[in-house]
Amino acid sequence: MKKTTQLKNLLNSDQTEFILEAHNGLSAKIVEEAGFKGIWGSGLALSAQHGVRDNNELSWTQVVEILEFMSDAASIPILLDGDTGYGDFNNMRRLVQKLEQRAIAGVCIEDKLFPKTNSFIQGEQQELEDVDTFCGKIQAGKDAQIDDDFCIVARVEAFIAGWGLEEALRRGEAYRQAGADAILIHSKLSRPDEILQFAREWGERCPLVIVPTKYYSTQTEVFRDHGISLVIWANHMIRSSITAMQATARTIHETESLVEIEGQVSTVSEIFRLQGADELLEAEKLYARKARPDASAIILAASRGQGMDELTRDRPKVMIPVAGKTVLRRQVDKFKAQGINDITVVAGYQKDAIEVQGAQVVVNEDWETTSELKSLACALDKFSDDTVLIYGDLLFRSYIFSNLMDWDAELLVVVDSSPLEQAKGNINDLAYCSGPDDRAMYQQKVRLEQVSKSSDWQGRSPDGRWIGMLRARGEGRSHITEALEQLGRAGLIEDSGVPDLINRLVENGHAPQVQYIAGHWMDINNLQDLQRASDFTHGLNN
């Protein structure tokens, strides 16, 4: 239902209805969640939250701007406390137009002079608007509205300014005849007498609205019995927030700590909930077209590595800086550059020394007695529909990785076909493929047949070396899970490496596609490698 219609129905319902003050988007949302059917856009609260006085120090456009946030945050109608309409009949017309454009359901204007003062500050000295002039303002507002259900409430300040019942009734009746949808009769007394007298005399001419801030102890039943249509609880959100903020500020200042207040204040996740953070996450899934929507990376970094005792005394190999940047940081940066932000590092040895922004760490607690596949199993739930698995000690040029991300195979391994005589470092993972590297062909259709430490497999010589990089997409993920489960059932997980997993994939009929490269990578296994690594990273556009 339109907000205007909702407010109109509240005013005209045969029960007494209630609306509560709000002064920004957040409080508007809280009012709605509490179950209220409408919001009072209090001038006092709107100005107070900005630290200014309720004397039209806030400009009317600033008011409208705040209301826009409130209107967006809540689906219940807002009745704006529009003070005097911020000027004459012409200002009123423009106000109505602007409020309608922002889905504000109605406005209440009071018969005082611009700039007004809050009714509870020297009310008796306040001058009232000439009745005819004010009626012209009401009529101009009604004529300006486009939506028939937009409501204009006329507020009678006669009691506030020290006039009696007669003047209050005279004004109320004139405003009703000028077209007001309801009359707000205000009082600054701590008893409801003048309001109730007015209500009795008024009868059912048109809906009556009250603001029982001063006569708050009056039982609500009394308002019901007097046929009040709408009760405005006018300032209790701003007042409760002031009390809470003062207590919090005092405690934090006195204790120089957050311990005392942590349990007293709303959680940060409650803020996120009120802001609708979840909706945005859902919408991102639908609309935010990322370069690699589901891609993730798993970096195996649990082992200490060998032959670098001094350098790895307090940290794993991946945390050794190479030309000023750790190997791990270099990998994470490369993933991020390719739009992969879901990055997991499997740590083990000196796990606390692993520190890398932008990646999460999972731990293989048994790193000392188990092997790579156990580490991989620790990160099994980090596999997405597109996951790159990589050894943590690998340095490589960016193009290798971006080419890897270009394929659409389910399983893909990177194999270096440069002659073994030139190979330095690890030559354990020799790759036997369905065909040799045809360097003239991009995305050559070659399958991996075996990864082995041996340089002879079935009487053949190797086609290259698997560099320690694998990508699994779509079904590739379940092939890996299946192979891991098989190895687990056979009791082989604890002693096996990723090459054993790859060989199992081949046996299961899921031989990975081979991406051939020729050099431009290295892994770090000893001090000599480390020296080379520094040269490798220098002068190359890595």
Q: Nearer Cβ to Mg ion, position 23 or 504?
A: 23
Q: Nearer Cβ to ligand SPV, position 79 or 199?
A: 79
Distance between CA atoms of 488 and 502, rounded to whole angstroms? 14
Choices 41-49, 221-229, 397-405, 447-455; region in contact with ligand SPV by CB under 6 A: 41-49
Q: 479 in helix, strand or coil?
A: helix
Binds ligand SPV (CB under 6 A): choice among 11, 30, 135, 234:
234
Q: Cis peptide before 462, with omega less than 30 degrees from 0?
A: no
Least CB distance from residue 385 to ligand SPV, whole Å?
Answer: 54
Least CB distance from residue 277 to Mg ion, whole Å?
Answer: 33
Q: Nearer Cβ to ligand SPV, position 128 or 505?
A: 128
Binds ligand SPV (CB under 6 A): choice among 30, 39, 44, 340:
44
118 touches ligand SPV by CB under 6 A = yes
Select from ligand SPV, Mg ion, none the partner in contact with residue 235, using the beta carbon and a kind-dependent cut-off of 5 to 8 Å. ligand SPV
- Judged on CB neighbours under 10 Å (0-12, 13-18, 19+), 273 is middle
82 touches Mg ion by CB under 5 A = no
Q: Is 195 in contact with 215 (CB distance < 8 Å)?
A: yes
Partners of 343 in beta bridges = 297
Q: Is 183 in contact with 210 (CB distance < 8 Å)?
A: no
Least CB distance from residue 112 to Mg ion, whole Å?
Answer: 10
81 touches ligand SPV by CB under 6 A = yes
Binds ligand SPV (CB under 6 A): choice among 119, 229, 312, 331:
119
Distance between CA atoms of 381 and 374, rounded to whole angstroms? 13
Q: Is 291 in contact with 339 (CB distance < 8 Å)?
A: yes
Distance between CA atoms of 168 and 210, rounded to whole angstroms? 14
Which two three-digit tokens encode residue 181? 């949808």
Size of the site for ligand SPV (CB under 6 A): 10
Q: Nearer Cβ to Mg ion, position 81 or 194?
A: 81
153 touches ligand SPV by CB under 6 A = no
Which two three-digit tokens encode residue 183? 């009359």
Choices 2-10, 36-44, 198-206, 284-292; region in contact with ligand SPV by CB under 6 A: 36-44
Q: Nearer Cβ to Mg ion, position 79 or 498?
A: 79
Least CB distance from residue 333 to ligand SPV, whole Å?
Answer: 55
Binds ligand SPV (CB under 6 A): choice among 66, 74, 180, 211:
211
Q: Find the largest Cα–Cα distance for the chain.
A: 114
Distance between CA atoms of 190 and 52, rounded to whole angstroms? 26
Choices 42-50, 215-223, 382-390, 407-415; region in contact with ligand SPV by CB under 6 A: 42-50
Distance between CA atoms of 531 and 513, rounded to whole angstroms? 33
Partners of 451 in beta bridges = 431
Distance between CA atoms of 12 and 352, rounded to whole angstroms? 67
81 touches Mg ion by CB under 5 A = yes
Size of the site for Mg ion (CB under 5 A): 2
Kindly identify the residues of this chain, within the stretch 7-46, that bind Mg ion according to CB under 5 A: 43
Residues serving a catalytic function are 54
Q: Nearer Cβ to ligand SPV, position 44 or 67?
A: 44
115: number of Cβ within 10 Å = 14
Q: Sort strands 360-363 and 342-347 into parallel, antiparallel or unpaired.
A: parallel
77 touches Mg ion by CB under 5 A = no
Among candidate residues 275, 505, 266, 290, the one with its CA nearest the CA of residue 384? 290
Q: Nearer Cβ to Mg ion, position 19 or 404?
A: 19
Choices 37-45, 130-138, 289-297, 491-499; region in contact with ligand SPV by CB under 6 A: 37-45
The residue of the chain with the least Cβ separation from Mg ion equals 43
- Say how many CA atoms lie within 13 Å of 249 toward its Cβ: 6
Least CB distance from residue 80 to Mg ion, whole Å?
Answer: 10
The alpha-carbon radius of gyration of the chain (Å, integer) is 37
Q: 164 in helix, strand or coil?
A: coil
Select from Mg ion, ligand SPV, none the partner in contact with residue 145, using the beta carbon and a kind-dependent cut-off of 5 to 8 Å. none
Q: Nearer Cβ to ligand SPV, position 118 or 398?
A: 118
Q: Sort strands 521-523 and 394-396 into parallel, antiparallel or unpaired.
A: antiparallel
Choices 40-48, 326-334, 415-423, 452-460; region in contact with ligand SPV by CB under 6 A: 40-48
Q: What amino acid is encoded at 209 in this protein?
A: V
Q: 145 in helix, strand or coil?
A: coil
Distance between CA atoms of 124 and 118, rounded to whole angstroms? 11
42 touches ligand SPV by CB under 6 A = yes
Least CB distance from residue 83 to ligand SPV, whole Å?
Answer: 8
Kindly identify the residues of this chain, within the stretch 177-206, that bind ligand SPV according to CB under 6 A: none
Residues in the chain: 542
- Residues in touch with Mg ion (CB under 5 A): 43, 81
- Residues in touch with ligand SPV (CB under 6 A): 42-44, 81, 118-119, 211, 213, 234-235
